[in-house]
Amino acid sequence: MIGRIASVGLLASSIAALPALAQQQVPAAPPQQPATSSTQQPGAPAPNAAPTFPAVDPKDFTAATPTKDEVNGFLQASWGYDENRIWEVGAILKTPVEGLSKVIIYMGDKTGKEKSSGFLFWALPDGKHIIAGNDVYPFGTNPYAGSRAVLQQQANGPYRGSAGKELELVEFADFECPHCKEAQANMDKLAVDFPKARIVFQNYPLERIHPESKLAAEYGVCVSKLGGSNAFFQFANAVFDGQEGLATADGATLTLNSAVTKAGADPTKVAACANTPATSDDVENSVKLAQDLNINQTPTLMVNGRQVPVGGLSYDMLKKIVEYQEKLDGIQQ
């Protein structure tokens, strides 16, 4: 199972999680009517039809902020990577709370393969955040800029690829998380397909469900300190390959020492380094960075600040999201 700290649907990831969480007391979209054709043979399946949304009533736009253009800009930034997704802003309603607006959206798939649906979120008075489901997300026509700036300053884990941060892919992972292990193949593909990217590994051990994950993270910090980023990624690959060995304390020691040796480092020196307060603080600072960015599951990839939970995500979709974020940020491949 994907490592989780809390139940969450990540709007900021731009995966289709927002509507799933936020379908709350919104009028249903009209049922789609199959297209008809005079040449269609009896018994043949009807072709898919584009979704039909409810008619928009100007009286349903009573709030001063956000504007319809701002909402559309936000959704374009969040969902524009999917050429088949379409939506309609159905209402932006004033509430009894000064500056808090209720925003209703209809969305669907223009091929007609997915059922259209309605959902809502609450735009907060600061103009920079929304509440959808049970969580708070960044809002705006460039919603990921703030997280991008934070990561450029604070994501200090080992990296591969470019020293520059124009395209920065920051992976938050837990060495004991099975989905993190599975995600490494896609991380390797990203390194090949985006040679100008800086791909950073940030420790995010979820100790409550993975008791040996922090120790593994501490060993990784020390391998990086003693041998550099290349040694770290050799260590990380070996730990993920032997992940089952982390199930017990004794097994973790054997697994981690073996991975250290494979990375060309000295297990005695690494163990001594891992047992220091400074190393523990290094890991805790990385955990705090994840929490400050509202990352609630592993593995999560931050693509120039865009949060993408990658457990179970196909590589084709992941690559499409990275390419779209490049386009938004004006990055030349």
User: Bridge partners of 123?
Assistant: 101, 130
Of 109, 139, 169, which residue sits at a domain end?
Answer: 139
Of 86, 120, 139, which residue sits at a domain end?
Answer: 139
- For the segment 130-145, the average pLDDT, to the nearest whole number, is 94
Whether residue 37 is predicted with pLDDT greater than 50 in this model: the reply is no
Check whether residue 230 and residue 122 sit in a common domain: no
| Token pair belonging to 113 | 């393969």
Q: How would you classify the pairing of strands 117-123 and 101-109?
A: antiparallel
Check whether residue 216 and residue 238 sit in a common domain: yes
Strand, helix or coil for residue 67: coil
Check whether residue 152 and residue 248 sit in a common domain: yes
Q: How many domains does the chain have?
A: 2
Whether residue 46 is predicted with pLDDT greater than 80 in this model: the reply is no
Let me know if residue 39 belongs to a domain: no
State the CATH number of the domain containing residue 226.
3.40.30.10
**Residues contacting 28, CB < 8 A, separation 6+:** 117, 118
Whether residue 205 is predicted with pLDDT greater than 90 in this model: the reply is yes
- For the segment 67-96, the average pLDDT, to the nearest whole number, is 96
Residue 16 pLDDT: 37
Let me know if residue 287 belongs to a domain: yes
Contact between residue 120 and residue 104 where contact means Cβ atoms under 8 Å apart: yes
Using CA atoms, how far apart are residues 268 and 13, in angstroms rounded to an integer?
Answer: 41
Let me know if residue 186 belongs to a domain: yes
pLDDT, the chain, mean:
88
Let me know if residue 38 belongs to a domain: no
Of 139, 168, 187, which residue sits at a domain end?
Answer: 139
Using CA atoms, how far apart are residues 217 and 201, in angstroms rounded to an integer?
Answer: 11
Cis previous bond, 66, omega within 30: yes
Phi then psi dihedrals of residue 306, to 5 deg? -80, 125
What is the span of the domain harbouring residue 121?
3-33+50-139
Let me know if residue 45 belongs to a domain: no
Residue 51 pLDDT: 83
Residue 50 pLDDT: 75
Check whether residue 77 and residue 221 sit in a common domain: no
- For the segment 204-223, the average pLDDT, to the nearest whole number, is 97
Whether residue 196 is predicted with pLDDT greater than 60 in this model: the reply is yes
pTM: 0.85
Check whether residue 134 and residue 201 sit in a common domain: no
Residue 210 pLDDT: 97
